[in-house]
Amino acid sequence: MIKSIRDWPIRTLKLELDGRTIKDVSRAFAAHMGQTPEQLIDTSLDSILTAASRLYFLSALDPKLRQNLDCEQHTLYLKTPLGSLPFLTSAHPQHANQALLVFMPADQHLVLQQQLIQERDYTESLNRDLSRQQHQLIDQRNRQKELLEKLENTNHELLQTEKLAALGQLAAGIAHEINNPVGYIQSNLNSLDHYLTTLLAILTDAKGDDIKQRLAAENFDFIKDDLVDLLNESQQGVQHITSITQALTQFTRAPGKEQTCELHDQINTTLRVIHNELKNKAHIQRQFSQSPLRVRFDPAQLNQVMMNLLINAAQAIERFGEINIVSEIDGNYAKVTITDSGAGMDEHTLNHAIEPFFTTKPEGEGTGLGLSLVYNMIRRHFGKLQIDSDVGQGTTVTLWLPLAQECDNDSDSESGTTAR
């Protein structure tokens, strides 16, 4: 243990790290500072260091000394009677949280050399930190990429779940739509079977003039006209079933890549699939633009968007109302407006309308994913969604879908939703 450094021939002082208080000092150091040892003892080291050197001591030397590490060849500037002068400083940890500092005057060359060494060490430390941070960022980016892929897969699963849930709700109506034409086709076939049996019997058994008499007795003129009507009705029924099954096939296909599709065709396809859900709730008014509107969109997802919005509109109507569908060109977008005469939404419901799992329906009657999926699908295709509603005034949902010829260069376009 060092008892006293007062008579040491070198410039040195003993420092208490807590508070940086000078506890002892050599006469050689005190003389260099133009003071006596007694004047320096119990004063702060900060009082004899320049502002920059105080900061450097706190950041570079103090932490190492507290870890019992030696600090060699550090440049500190002291406020001497001759002004601020550089000193090469070595610091060594002592017992009881103290340190011994030894000062040696440095000429400009040594100072510059030492500063360069310090800057080099500092730069290398920064480079190591930057490299470590870069690796951390790369790892974070890879994890984010994995999470985004999982999120995309989850979103596709949610989309299919919502579609299956919607098809489950529509199943009874679709069956009814198909059973109607199947019923009268079956009835027509029974009548056709009876007519053919009668005519074949006449043609097989009758001879000569008996054919005319038998045909007249069986009311052949009625059978002839009715045969044509029955065949026409059956053909119309088959066409109706075909249109329903084609619409279902298009509607239920799995999401794929976006492609050019005709907006009006997609809306009409959706209307055919959900016809039974809408016919007892609202009169559908279609005001389509005269020219076709070709947009870049995944057809399956576009059908899902239209189905969710139209079923929401129908469910908002308590008895019987109207749903208006208007399409037009708005700059580089195809604009679709769906307006219902339903109950409308209050401000709270409107502000949360597109949040996942938010629903105002009774438990078990809604997933709360409909508008959330609509928003996400439109956003992924660089479109926009706006919802306007007032209680008792109905709701208007407006979509802007990029026109096909504009989509190729639209990858940086803004997308979003607005609720008002």
Mean pLDDT of 106-111: 62
CA dihedral 23, 7, 28, 65 (to 10 degrees): -40
Contact call for residues 398 and 388 (beta carbons, < 8 A): yes
Given a cut of 80, whether residue 96 has pLDDT beyond it is yes
Mean pLDDT of 201-218: 67
Edge to edge, the sheet with strand 394-402 lists 282-287, 321-330, 333-340, 394-402, 384-390, 416-419
Given a cut of 50, whether residue 13 has pLDDT beyond it is yes
- Check residues 89 and 182 and name the one with the higher pLDDT: 89
413 pLDDT tier (thresholds 50, 70, 90): very low
**Domain 11-106, CATH 3.30.450.20 — does that match?**
yes
Return the H-helix or E-strand segment holding 230: helix 220-252
Tally of helices (H runs) and strands (E runs) in the chain = 13, 13
Rounded CA separation 3/315 (Å): 92
In DSSP terms, 326 is beta-bridged to 287, 337
Alpha-helical segments (H) within 257-393 = 263-273, 275-278, 299-315, 347-351, 370-380
Q: How far is CA 266 from CA 33, 156, 305, 336, in A?
A: 90, 20, 10, 12
Within 10 Å of residue 130's Cβ, how many Cβ atoms?
10
State whether residue 216 is helix, strand or coil: helix
Contact call for residues 387 and 395 (beta carbons, < 8 A): yes
* Most confident listed range (21-35, 214-228, 253-267, 376-390): 21-35
Mean pLDDT of 75-104: 91
415 pLDDT tier (thresholds 50, 70, 90): very low
Q: For 308, how many CA atoms within 13 A lie in the half-sphere containing its CB?
A: 30
354 pLDDT tier (thresholds 50, 70, 90): confident
Contact call for residues 383 and 315 (beta carbons, < 8 A): no
Rounded CA separation 117/72 (Å): 12
Residue 226 confidence (pLDDT):
75
Instruction: Domain ranges for the chain, please list them.
Output: 11-106, 159-419
Contact call for residues 277 and 311 (beta carbons, < 8 A): yes
Given a cut of 50, whether residue 173 has pLDDT beyond it is yes
Task: Determine if the pTM surpasses 0.85.
Answer: no
Q: Which residue, chain included where needed, has tokens 């040892």? A: 37
Q: For 397, how many CA atoms within 13 A lie in the half-sphere containing its CB?
A: 26
Residue 245 confidence (pLDDT):
66
Percent of the chain with pLDDT over 90: 33
Q: Which two tokens stand for residue 346?
A: 């209050």
Rounded CA separation 420/408 (Å): 31
Edge to edge, the sheet with strand 11-16 lists 21-25, 11-16, 98-105, 83-93, 71-80
187 pLDDT tier (thresholds 50, 70, 90): confident
Q: Which two tokens stand for residue 281?
A: 């709730």
Q: What is the pLDDT of residues 20-58, one digit of tens each?
A: 999 999 999 999 999 999 999 999 999 999 999 999 999
- Check residues 361 and 46 and name the one with the higher pLDDT: 46
Average predicted confidence (pLDDT) for the chain: 81
What end-to-end distance do the CA atoms of the chain give, in Å? 79
410 pLDDT tier (thresholds 50, 70, 90): very low
Q: What is the pLDDT of residues 284-338, one digit of tens each?
A: 999 999 999 999 988 888 888 888 899 889 988 988 999 999 999 999 999 999 9
Q: Which amino acid is at 7?
A: D
Q: Which residue, chain included where needed, has tokens 């050019």? A: 260
* Residue 251 burial (C-beta neighbours within 10 Å; 0-12, 13-18, 19+): buried
Please tell me the CATH code under which domain 159-419 is placed: 3.30.565.10
